[in-house]
Amino acid sequence: MSKSIQIAVVGSGYVGLVAAVCFAEIGHSVVCVDNDQSKVAALQSGDTLIHENYLPALLQRYRNTKVRFTTDLSEATRASDAIFIAVGTPQSENGDADLSYVESVACEIARSLSSYKVIVEKSTVPVYTNEWICRTIERNGVARSLFDVVSNPEFLREGTAVADFLHPDRIVVGADSEPAAALLARIYAPLTSGAYYSQPDAIPGRCSASAPPHLLLTSAKSAEIVKHASNAFLALKISFINAVSNLCEATGANIEQVARGIGLDSRIGSRFLRPGIGYGGSCFPKDVAAFRSVAEQLGIDFNLLTEVEKINAEQKKRFLAKVRSALWTLRGKRIAVLGLAFKGETNDIRESPAIDLIEMLLAEGCSIVAYDPAAIERAQAELPPSPQLQYAQDAYAAATDVDALLILTDWREFAALDLPRLYTAMRYPVVVDGRNLFDPSTMQQHGFTYISIGRPAVYPARDLELAASAAK
Ligand code: UDX
Ligand code: UDX
């Protein structure tokens, strides 16, 4: 493999921690910095803190050897050739990205710069952040020849973060300087050359030695816009299919058939056309708002994004209306909620539509028993248990004696539920599925009333017979 490079990653959250262990996996030496002392101590002891496939094994393999953890950014800066900034860029009141963490990291790096370093924006940031980081470092007295700032956006998805990092669709490097672009190319060389994929113990995925990922070199500003535009486009795709699913409901068509029919057009593609209860997570809501805000500040009309957000918010209200129409009234009803995370295979509840819906149901006077395979602890911190909101040990315990069961997260575990067991546990076999995990006719055969997204509702065969005989 190519020569090892000394890398610092600042911020050890979903993006930073995954980047750090993956850089070690492709042969580099990494120091991971976080200003949260308890997080650093946990990582040093091998606790990943987040739920990600392959992460525990990689952390175990590299922790305190090829990846060390520290709170000391000055020391990490001095020890590294490239410093990746992966701290949070939360949404501020007006929709803008709050860049204060990025700014304070840039100031601290500036104080320790004494030889040439490449500073890399890994966090999702608006266009012009690169220029601001340069200006901030210069204002702190550092000569311009001592550093370059590069934009290298990260496209990993939570839940599949490690495999996404090591098998990317593309690697985007926005660099306005030749030496900085060359260093980034060397860092990613084990992936772009295909060498990593020839290793017998490489993490499996879509790339291979004969089909390695492509590195796209752009200007820094273009790379910043690539990241925001990618997330905004994916969010748009989801809102589009959600709007079409509403049309399907109004006409009796089936969104699964329609999405397949659209997606088979290779110009459109079938991914990110799953209808549901709206997108959530730490990226799409924040990045759509930030991109809209950037456009506004530049005097560009991008109201399309406002519509994307509107459809997304409406989708949760439509789901609540479905639950209400299935149960007639909501006050006093006991409801099982399967899923708290913003999507399956992660314990992240940031901007989770499931959490919003639980709050809406509680406000309507329902009592809830919730279950999630990994996110209960985090959900309890936000929504503490109460007589109205309990947390169950498994899906069947949550379903016991309920008036209806709601599926709010697309965990694989839920799609594999034992339907006869679920049926027996529930008081009334009513399932409202916000993620279309089941085939309606299977649910009907198992005796459920089954209401999903963009597909005709089905009722148990017995009810239909009763309705038919009542009509005679
Ligand atoms: C976040 C943003 O949500 C995303 O848009 C951006 O691309 C990268 O940062 P994530 O990794 O999910 O993604 O955030 P989070 O899990 O909050 O991790 C950020 C880490 O940075 C935390 O561990 C925090 O303690 C640390 N941090 C924050 C610092 O080390 N220094 C700071 O000044 C601020
Ligand atoms: C997203 C981007 O996909 C990733 O490239 C970027 O780096 C970070 O933001 P992530 O937030 O981890 O990743 O999850 P993603 O799989 O994109 O899902 C986001 C939300 O959209 C989830 O709430 C998910 O349930 C929803 N979604 C996704 C749909 O409702 N339908 C779909 O077809 C796909």
Taking the CB of residue 446, how many other CB atoms lie within 10 A of it? 17
Compute the distance from residue 179 Cα to the ligand 1 centre, in Å: 27
pLDDT tens, position by position, 100-111: 999 999 999 999
Angle separating helix axes 284-297 and 220-251, nearest 10 degrees: 120
CA dist., res. 121 & res. 433, Å (int): 39
Residue pair 340/411 in contact (Cβ under 8 Å)? The answer is: no
CA-283 nearest atom, ligand 1: 5
Compute the distance from residue 157 Cα to the ligand 2 centre, in Å: 7
Comparing C-alpha atoms, which of 120, 129, 130 is closest to residue 173? 120
Residue type at 120 in one-letter notation: V
The residue from 207, 248, 283, 366 that is catalytic is 283
C-beta of 274 in contact with ligand 2 (< 6 A): yes
Q: What is the pLDDT of residue 465?
A: 65
Q: What is the pLDDT of residue 464?
A: 62
Residue pair 123/89 in contact (Cβ under 8 Å)? The answer is: yes
pLDDT tens, position by position, 344-391: 999 999 999 999 999 999 999 999 999 999 999 999 999 999 999 999
User: Tokens 């709206």 belong to which residue?
Assistant: 278
Q: What is the pLDDT of residue 3?
A: 83
pLDDT tens, position by position, 434-472: 999 999 999 999 999 999 999 999 999 766 665 566 666
Q: Set out the domains of the chain in order of their start, with CATH numbers.
A: 6-218 (3.40.50.720), 227-311 (1.10.1040.10), 315-471 (3.40.50.720)
Q: What is the pLDDT of residue 469?
A: 65
The predicted model scores a pTM of 0.95
Query: Residue 212 to residues 1, 190, 201, 202, 282: CA-CA distances in angstroms?
Result: 15, 9, 17, 13, 29
CA-101 nearest atom, ligand 1: 33
Extract the tokens encoding 303. 């109201």
Top mutation candidate among 9, 10, 15 for ligand 1, by most atoms within 8 Å of CB = 15
- Residue ranges, the chain, pLDDT below 70: 1-2, 462-472
Compute the distance from residue 423 Cα to the ligand 2 centre, in Å: 31
- According to DSSP, the β-strands at 6-10 and 117-121 are unpaired
Residue 269 region by backbone torsions, left for phi larger than 0, else alpha for psi between -120 and 50, else beta: left
CA-344 nearest atom, ligand 2: 25
C-beta of 342 in contact with ligand 2 (< 6 A): yes
pLDDT tens, position by position, 299-330: 999 999 999 999 999 999 999 999 999 999 99
Helix (H) or strand (E) holding 68: strand 67-70
Residue pair 171/213 in contact (Cβ under 8 Å)? The answer is: yes
Comparing C-alpha atoms, which of 312, 156, 183, 159 is closest to residue 239? 312
CA dist., res. 180 & res. 174, Å (int): 10
The reply to whether 107 belongs to the active site is: no
CA dist., res. 15 & res. 425, Å (int): 40
Provide residues with CB under 6 Å of ligand 1.
10-16, 34-36, 39, 86-89, 101, 104-105, 123-124, 282-283
Compute the distance from residue 199 Cα to the ligand 2 centre, in Å: 30
Residue 88 region by backbone torsions, left for phi larger than 0, else alpha for psi between -120 and 50, else beta: beta
Comparing C-alpha atoms, which of 183, 171, 165, 164 is closest to residue 217? 171
C-beta of 343 in contact with ligand 2 (< 6 A): yes
Four-CA torsion 275, 276, 277, 282, nearest 10 degrees:
-90
Atom 9 of ligand 1 has which residue's CA nearest to it? 88
Q: Compute the Cα dihedral for 2, 14, 229, 262 and give only its sign.
A: positive
